């Protein structure tokens, strides 16, 4: 049953567009107002309740998403804050996507979650919304939806897990997941020791506790102004996570009352603040794709050059794994994102509006760094440049990314011969072949793992070290792909090569034995093969068969943009940008 009068762009009755959306639904004296009131009262809400601002609470709880397992409790605290501030909280679900479970990759479903969230916001009588996310793709999907729907919104992230503990050592998911499985593969730890580690690494609710994608996107939600200061780093089981949930519920009512919307907050300058915080934090390479997609929803083009420009002038100051020593628990104790932003304050756009109703500068008045071994001074940084570098050359004309702070020093400038794998299946089949022609100077190359190729650009860019090299003590090599990597990954991993191999990008033309040159300082990635030979190879190149022939998967392959364009669907961009992609 639907109301035929609900046909305007913002979902309100045209004659009552000046009213709050919820007010228009519930004060209509016609048949549909009767229906709205009657059905809502049947759930226990009163006449007094439905006169309040209607606050949606987007609950992405799912037992298929470990990172969101505690969200039902958080919702209760958000509701308490909404009620206290004079709002009417109404909880609703959307798709929930968890990294450990979804195959072939959560990236396939980020755009679907963004569409789901946007349409829920537009279709219902919501005056404002609290977006509760945590796992890697959920927060960017919600920010994309908020940018498109432009309903007053605030983000509440679920918080990181407590540090894993084993034999007096702190463990971090999933940086140590790679390390334990790598050493097990090398024969250095037993099955029993691996099982013990499995039981020790994830010991509480929450998302990954290193500066992976989840922590990066939580930090971005704060830095861009869409989450309350201090939200990102509070551990999930800490009582202060409940406190900030209640405060978030109160604040969304204030945003509605003051008509502060996402596009008032997520400006070009706010995006630059988010990029700077990401670079200073050694944040995930995935943040680049997500920020480009968010910018696109706002009607802005965000070129990779902007990321490289900000990275080059932003010191790396956060001593967190996988690029440093500590984890999110210590970051929280050191002051969290507000403390890091305070250290960067002279480099930020301080006049940007935030969900507090105040500017960045006003929010940072009381912030201070509480542990200098976690957050370094900008004039004594861990590294003079930010965490991520953009590489260009004839192998990546539209750009490729590397987390330079997590690269072994001897590989930051490297030249080696390619060992090529034509697909993820080819990689799995041959990587541990004792006859594989590979040594520690080789460059491992994976093709057809990009947005259209894999499909949906899975996090497989941390190509495994061949077993025979592991046994020789090799723990890092230059590895190149059009795939992504987890933010928890480490090593000389070049990812997001654009254009991807599946659409005929230069990566598709690489052959085993070709020499490849990497120079991070010069931002250079080149295939040392002459143009005539590459032209000859292109004549015989054939595109791989598409992975899907129906359904959402086919829609994804047909309409997804390349990595440097944010991997959104072309039809979800504002009209003014569609002709430019």
In angstroms, what CA-CA distances link 321 with 212, 283, 316? 8, 10, 13
- What integer pLDDT is reported at residue 468 of this predicted model? 95
Q: Please give the average per-residue pLDDT across 444-459, as a whole number.
A: 96
CATH, range 54-162+204-365? 3.40.50.2300
Burial of 34 (0-12, 13-18, 19+ CB in 10 A): exposed
CA angle 202, 203, 206 (to 5 degrees): 70
pLDDT at 18: 57
Q: What is the DSSP string of 451-488?
A: TTTTTS--S--SPPPPHHHHTTT----EEEESS---TT
Q: What is the mean pLDDT of residues 219-229?
A: 98
pLDDT digits (tens, 9 = 90+) for 101-142: 999 999 999 999 999 999 999 999 999 999 999 999 999 999
The SS3 assignment for 325 reads coil
Sequence-distant (6+) residues with CB within 8 A of 425 are none
CATH class entry, domain 389-547: alpha beta
Distance, CA of 211 to CA of 196 (rounded, Å):
24
Question: What does the mean pLDDT of the chain come to?
Answer: 95
* Cis amide bond preceding 306, omega within 30: no
pLDDT of residue 540 exceeding 50: yes
Mean of the pLDDT values across residues 375-396? Answer: 96
99 band by pLDDT with thresholds 50, 70 and 90: very high
What are the backbone dihedrals phi and psi of residue 155, each rounded to the nearest 5 degrees, phi first? -100, 135
* pLDDT above 50 for 331: yes
Mean pLDDT score, 370-375: 98
pLDDT in tens, 13-26: 333 345 899 999 99
| CA distances, 535 to each of 80, 367, 475, 541 (Å) | 65, 57, 36, 10
- In the chain, where the domains are located: 20-51, 54-162+204-365, 165-199, 389-547
- How open is the CA angle 217-220-221, to the nearest 5 degrees? 90
C-alpha to C-alpha distance for 233 and 337, rounded to whole angstroms: 7
Cβ–Cβ contacts within 10 Å for residue 473, how many?
Answer: 8
Calculate mean pLDDT across residues 174-200.
Answer: 92
Burial class (CB in 10 A: 0-12, 13-18, 19+), 91: middle
247 to 84, 123, 251, 304, 324: CA distances (angstroms): 10, 26, 6, 36, 32
Task: Please state, in angstroms and as integers, the Cα–Cα distance from residue 352 to each residue in 279, 340, 348, following that order.
Answer: 19, 17, 9
What confidence tens digit (pLDDT) does each residue in 242-297 have?
999 999 999 999 999 999 999 999 999 999 999 999 999 999 999 999 999 999 99
- Give the model's pLDDT for residue 522: 96
């Amino acid at each position: 049953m639907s109301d035929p009068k609900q046909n305007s762009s913002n979902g309100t009755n045209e004659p009552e567009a000046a009213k709050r959306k919820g007010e228009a639904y519930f004060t209509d004296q016609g048949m549909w107002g009767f229906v709205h009131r009657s059905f809502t009262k049947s759930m226990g809400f009163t006449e007094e309740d439905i006169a309040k601002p209607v606050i949606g609470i987007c609950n992405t709880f799912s037992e298929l998403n470990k990172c969101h397992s505690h969200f039902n409790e958080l919702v209760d605290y958000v509701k308490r804050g909404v009620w206290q501030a004079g709002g009417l909280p109404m909880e609703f679900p959307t798709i929930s996507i968890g990294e450990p479970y979804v195959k072939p990759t959560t990236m396939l479903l980020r755009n679907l979650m963004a569409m789901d969230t946007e349409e829920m916001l537009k279709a219902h009588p919501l005056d404002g919304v609290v977006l509760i996310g945590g796992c890697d793709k959920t927060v960017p999907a919600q920010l994309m939806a908020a940018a498109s729907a432009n309903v007053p919104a605030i983000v509440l992230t679920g918080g990181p897990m407590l540090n894993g503990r084993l034999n007096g050592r702190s463990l971090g998911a999933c940086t140590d997941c790679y390390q334990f499985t790598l050493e097990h593969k090398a024969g250095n730890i037993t099955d029993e020791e691996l099982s013990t580690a499995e039981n020790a690494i994830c010991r509480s609710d929450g998302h990954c506790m290193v500066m992976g994608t989840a922590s990066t996107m939580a930090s971005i939600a704060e830095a861009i102004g869409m989450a309350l200061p201090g939200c990102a780093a509070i551990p999930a089981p800490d009582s202060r996570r409940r406190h900030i949930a209640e405060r978030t519920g109160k604040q969304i009512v204030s945003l509605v009352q003051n008509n502060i919307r996402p596009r008032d907050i997520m400006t070009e300058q706010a995006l630059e603040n988010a990029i700077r915080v990401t670079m200073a934090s050694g944040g995930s390479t995935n943040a680049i794709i997500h920020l480009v997609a968010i910018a696109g929803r706002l009607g802005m083009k965000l070129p990779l050059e902007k990321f490289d420009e900000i990275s080059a002038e932003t010191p790396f100051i956060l001593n967190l794994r996988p690029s440093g020593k500590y984890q999110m628990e210590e970051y929280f104790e050191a002051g969290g994102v507000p403390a890091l932003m305070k250290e960067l304050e002279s480099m930020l756009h301080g006049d940007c509006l935030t969900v507090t109703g105040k500017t960045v500068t006003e929010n940072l008045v009381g912030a201070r760094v509480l542990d200098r071994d976690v957050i370094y001074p900008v004039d004594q940084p861990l590294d003079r440049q930010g965490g991520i570098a953009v590489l260009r050359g004839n192998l990546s004309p539209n750009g490729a990314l590397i987390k330079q702070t997590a690269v072994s020093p001897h590989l930051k400038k490297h030249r080696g011969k390619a060992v090529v794998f034509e697909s993820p299946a080819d990689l799995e089949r041959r990587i541990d072949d004792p006859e594989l022609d590979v040594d520690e100077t080789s460059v491992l190359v994976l093709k057809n793992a990009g947005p259209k190729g894999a499909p949906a650009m899975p996090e497989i860019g941390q190509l495994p070290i061949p077993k025979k090299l592991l046994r020789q003590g090799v723990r890092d090599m230059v590895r190149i792909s059009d795939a992504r990597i987890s933010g928890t990954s480490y090593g000389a991993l070049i990812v997001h090569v654009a254009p991807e191999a599946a659409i005929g990008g230069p990566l598709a033309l690489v052959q085993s034995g070709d020499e490849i040159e990497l120079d991070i300082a010069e931002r250079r990635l080149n295939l040392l093969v002459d143009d005539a030979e590459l032209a000859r190879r292109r004549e015989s190149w054939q595109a791989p068969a598409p992975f899907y022939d129906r359904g959402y998967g086919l829609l994804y392959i047909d309409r997804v943009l390349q990595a440097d364009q944010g991997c959104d669907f072309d039809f979800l961009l504002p009209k003014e940008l569609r002709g430019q992609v």
